[in-house]
């Protein structure tokens, strides 16, 4: 008779990937159920929750728009649309990070008592952030209709851009949730980190505003090509630059692969660390 | 959980030369700040604890293995290795069936969610299907006797209520191999009796039970075999009466009544 499970000391490096994937796939219902329960808990399925979900990003973009008007940037309707659209996509990444960073450490009880692929936890955090992003797409669709922005088939580019953003955010969440096991104060630095990236990204300003001297920002900030392509597409209904799309995809894939490798090679010791 | 029928005597769990070391940071909470601070001074950050050392153990189907030992002997650690939560540092563990530990379903994972949601989530994480969980839910809720509290957030539960729910989940899902790690000590007398009945009932089925307990009376009563761990080593295993008596002698509490109380 063959054993159902054999537990032996693990070697540094990745666990058997095929088996890992299979156990992860078997538990996909956990990810949906967990996201649903969390959203329910945050009252996103009640009327007031829905209203708040729509009001919150609108208020946020209104506040930043006031800021832009005061510091004297462009303040026409296109700028407002740009700000809103980019803010929404930026918050998809930021929410994934804030939800993801503690996903492993707060799942302590589950980790200590159940054998399961730990990567389910940051994935669930990402799914929750995606669910919170969906209503903002609808708001923006209404907004751009009201503002009379151009419409065209180029808008379809939004789909690959969102996919790239999700892969990027997922990679980040996986990486940072793992780092947080070893350094529990990472979560405290996170607000500063996201704030910095918000200002270094073409959200409050447009990519074309960037002074030549500051062009290195474009190179080091992975969100730059993502948000630039996003704005071109959903605000101006133009085709994004191919180079931006390629750079963005490269960043996203790299981060996802690196984060996953880092996580998988360490997750077996989480139970003695959390 | 599994449909294979095991015949009594067939091996369920085989533990071979198992060793486990914990490496922990001395700080309770590892932080970047403390790491940076200690880097300057070059102090060592980690501590190595040898929790299990060269353990050999077989558990056949149709038997109940009791595990006794002082606090910190490594009993819970051994159970975590058998259920696949902790990877061994040395040796090998073979498991011939589906394991469920008393707390294995991770119940209470998210304190802000209801008991119901936690049972679902814990079951899904352990690899059960939605259907399996729905099929068992009534039974779990009935056995736990939590009434309407099942829909209250778990942070409002008392430790006894926690233990009730966890026990109900573990015994209701009908695992091939059930591990009970003394989590009943918080239940009230009636629930304790009820769970003892349940364990006896499960014993008659073709499954393997591992019972970790400080209640030597209970261990003698329901186990076919007892293993005594001390400081990570297997000191003795054999007939319940012999091992328990040896252990009690070791503790010098043989005459005392306290040892018979809990499960
Ligand atoms: N997560 C952990 N990190 C580091 N050391 C641990 C951890 N868990 C347990 N230990 C250590 O391992 C040893 C065995 O602990 P374990 O919990 O297995 O004991 P036990 O036999 O279950 O004790 P008790 O009867 O109190 O439940 C102890 O010395 C303990 O300090
Ligand atoms: Mg213990």
The more confident residue out of A159 and B4 is A159
Domains of chain B, start order: 59-260 (3.40.50.300)
Q: Say what the pLDDT of residue B183 is.
A: 62
Of the candidates B12, B101, B16, B1, the one whose C-alpha atom is nearest the C-alpha of residue B61 is B12
Q: Where along chain A do its domains lie?
A: 46-272
Give the mutation candidate from B124, B130, B181 for the A interface (greatest A CB count, under 10 A). Answer: B124
pLDDT 10s digits, A91-108 = 999 999 999 999 998 888
* B104: contact with A, CB 8 A cutoff: yes
Long-range contacts of the stretch A188-197 (C-beta < 8 A, 24+):
A189/B32, A190/A97, A190/A98, A190/A101, A193/A97, A194/A94, A194/A97, A194/A98, A197/A90, A197/A221, A197/A223
Q: Is residue A252 over pLDDT 60?
A: yes
B175: buried, middle or exposed (CB in 10 Å: 19+, 13-18, 0-12)?
Answer: buried
Indicate the SS3 state at residue B183. Answer: helix
Lowest model confidence (mean pLDDT) among A10-14, A251-255, B174-178:
A10-14
Most confident option among A17-26, A161-170, B94-103, B212-221: A161-170
Ligand 1 centroid–CA B78 distance in Å is 10
Q: Say what the pLDDT of residue A217 is.
A: 80
Q: Is residue B2 over pLDDT 50?
A: no
Nearest to B95 among A5, A27, A113 (CB): A5
Q: Say what the pLDDT of residue B19 is.
A: 93
pTM of the model: 0.86
Ligand 1 centroid–CA B76 distance in Å is 7
Most confident option among A34-48, B177-191, B224-238: B224-238
Question: Contact, B199 vs B215, CB < 8 A?
Answer: no
Q: Say what the pLDDT of residue A268 is.
A: 86
Q: What percent of chain B has pLDDT over 70?
A: 83
Q: Please list, in sequence order, all residues whose beta carbon lies within 8 angstroms of the beta carbon of residue A116, skipping any fewer than 6 positions away.
A: A23, A27, A30, A110, B125, B126, B127
Q: Which of B18, B49, B55, B86 to mutate to test the pocket of ligand 1 (most atoms within 8 A of CB)?
A: B49
pLDDT 10s digits, A254-269 = 999 999 999 999 988 8
Most confident option among A115-119, A253-257, B149-153: A253-257
Q: Is residue A247 over pLDDT 90?
A: yes
Q: Say what the pLDDT of residue A75 is.
A: 73
Q: Is residue B139 over pLDDT 70?
A: yes
Q: Say what the pLDDT of residue B1 is.
A: 44
Q: Which of B18, B19, B21, B22 to mutate to test the pocket of ligand 1 (most atoms within 8 A of CB)?
A: B22
Average pLDDT score over residue span B79-86: 88
CA A65/CA A84 separation, integer angstroms: 9
Q: How far is CA B169 from CA A186, B30, B77, B86, B136, in A?
A: 35, 33, 21, 21, 9
Lowest model confidence (mean pLDDT) among A136-145, A154-163, A210-219:
A210-219
Of the candidates B98, B25, B262, the one whose C-alpha atom is nearest the C-alpha of residue A4 is B98
- Indicate the pLDDT class of residue B260, thresholds 50, 70 and 90: low
Question: Contact, A156 vs A244, CB < 8 A?
Answer: no
CA A174/CA A258 separation, integer angstroms: 9
Give the mutation candidate from A113, A124, A270 for the B interface (greatest B CB count, under 10 A). Answer: A113
Q: Is residue B255 over pLDDT 70?
A: no
pLDDT 10s digits, A230-239 = 999 999 999 9
Q: What percent of chain A has pLDDT over 90?
A: 53
Q: What percent of chain A has pLDDT over 70?
A: 98
Helices A120-146 and A158-182 pack at an angle, to 10 degrees, of 140
């Amino acid at each position: 008779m063959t054993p159902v499970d054999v537990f032996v000391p693990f070697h540094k490096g990745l666990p058997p990937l095929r088996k890992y994937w299979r156990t992860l796939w078997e538990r996909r219902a956990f990810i949906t159920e967990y996201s649903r329960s969390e959203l329910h808990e945050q009252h996103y399925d009640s009327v007031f929750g829905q209203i708040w979900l729509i009001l919150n990003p609108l208020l946020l973009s209104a506040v930043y728009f006031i800021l832009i008007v005061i510091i004297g940037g462009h303040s026409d309707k296109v700028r407002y649309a740009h700000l809103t659209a980019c803010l929404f996509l930026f918050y998809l990444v930021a929410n994934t990070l804030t939800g993801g960073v503690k996903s492993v450490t707060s799942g302590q009880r589950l980790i200590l008592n159940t054998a399961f692929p730990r990567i389910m936890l940051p994935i669930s955090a990402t799914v929750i952030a995606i669910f919170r992003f969906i209503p903002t797409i609808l708001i923006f669709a209404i907004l751009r209709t009201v503002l009379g922005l151009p419409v065209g088939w180029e808008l379809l580019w939004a789909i690959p851009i969102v996919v790239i953003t999700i892969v990027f955010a997922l990679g980040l969440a996986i990486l940072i949730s793992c780092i947080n096991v070893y350094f529990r104060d990472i979560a405290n630095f996170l607000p500063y980190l996201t704030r910095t990236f918000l200002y270094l990204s073409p959200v409050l300003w447009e990519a074309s505003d960037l002074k030549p001297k500051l062009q290195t920002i474009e190179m080091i900030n992975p969100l730059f090509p993502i948000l630039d392509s996003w704005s071109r597409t959903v605000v101006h209904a133009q085709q994004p630059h191919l180079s931006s799309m390629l750079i963005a995809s490269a960043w996203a894939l790299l981060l996802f692969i690196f984060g996953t490798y880092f996580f998988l090679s360490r997750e077996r010791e989480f139970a003695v660390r959390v | 959980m599994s449909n294979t029928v095991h015949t009594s005597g067939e091996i369920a769990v085989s533990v071979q030369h198992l060793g486990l070391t914990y490496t922990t940071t001395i700080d309770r909470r590892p932080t970047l700040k403390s790491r940076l601070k200690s880097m300057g001074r070059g102090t060592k950050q980690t501590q190595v604890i040898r929790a299990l050392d060269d353990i050999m153990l077989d558990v056949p189907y149709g038997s109940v293995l009791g595990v006794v030992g002082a606090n910190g002997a490594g009993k819970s650690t051994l159970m975590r290795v058998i259920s696949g939560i902790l990877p061994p540092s040395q040796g090998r563990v073979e498991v011939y069936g589906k394991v469920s530990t008393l707390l294995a379903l991770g119940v209470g994972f998210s304190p802000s969610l209801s008991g119901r949601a936690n049972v679902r989530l814990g079951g899904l994480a352990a690899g059960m299907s939605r259907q399996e969980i729905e099929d068992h839910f009534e039974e779990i809720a009935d056995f736990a006797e939590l009434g309407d509290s099942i829909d209250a957030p778990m942070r409002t539960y008392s430790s006894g209520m926690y233990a009730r729910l966890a026990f109900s989940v573990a015994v209701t899902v009908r695992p091939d191999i059930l591990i009970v790690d003394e989590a009943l000590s918080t239940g009230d007398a009636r629930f304790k009796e009820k769970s003892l009945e349940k364990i006896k009932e499960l014993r008659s089925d073709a499954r393997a039970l591992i019972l970790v307990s400080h209640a030597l009376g209970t261990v003698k009563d329901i186990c076919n075999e007892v293993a005594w761990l001390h400081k990570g080593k297997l000191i003795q295993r054999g007939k319940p009466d012999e091992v328990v008596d040896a252990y009690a002698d070791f503790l010098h509490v043989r005459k005392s009544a306290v040892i018979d109380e809990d499960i």
